Amino acid sequence: MPKLKTKSSAKKRFRLTKSGKIKMPQAGKRHGMIKRTNSQIRKQRGTTIMSKQDSKIVKSYMPYSLRG
């Protein structure tokens, strides 16, 4: 069997936690900050945990590094 390829875009964007969840940067922080409230901007700092349904898709993109 040939080896499966990892999606390069996924390995740059996502990390795995110890419990096997996917950690990702907060969405909605690139532009348009002037129309967002200050509390919204504060809540979007740092990273967040991806939903279970989406993490299943991302794990298929990274077959070897995200076994969990």
Rounded to 5°, angle at Cα 38 from 32 and 41: 60
Q: Is residue 68 part of a domain?
A: no
Q: Where do the H-state alpha helices sit in 1-68?
A: 8-13, 38-43, 52-61
pLDDT value of residue 67: 55
pLDDT value of residue 66: 54
Q: Is residue 48 part of a domain?
A: yes
Q: How many domains does the chain have?
A: 1
Q: Is residue 23 part of a domain?
A: yes
Q: Give average pLDDT by consecutive 10-residue segment, the chain, 68 residues.
A: 92 91 94 94 96 94 73
Give residue 36's domain range: 8-61
CATH code of the domain covering residue 47? 4.10.410.60
pLDDT value of residue 64: 84
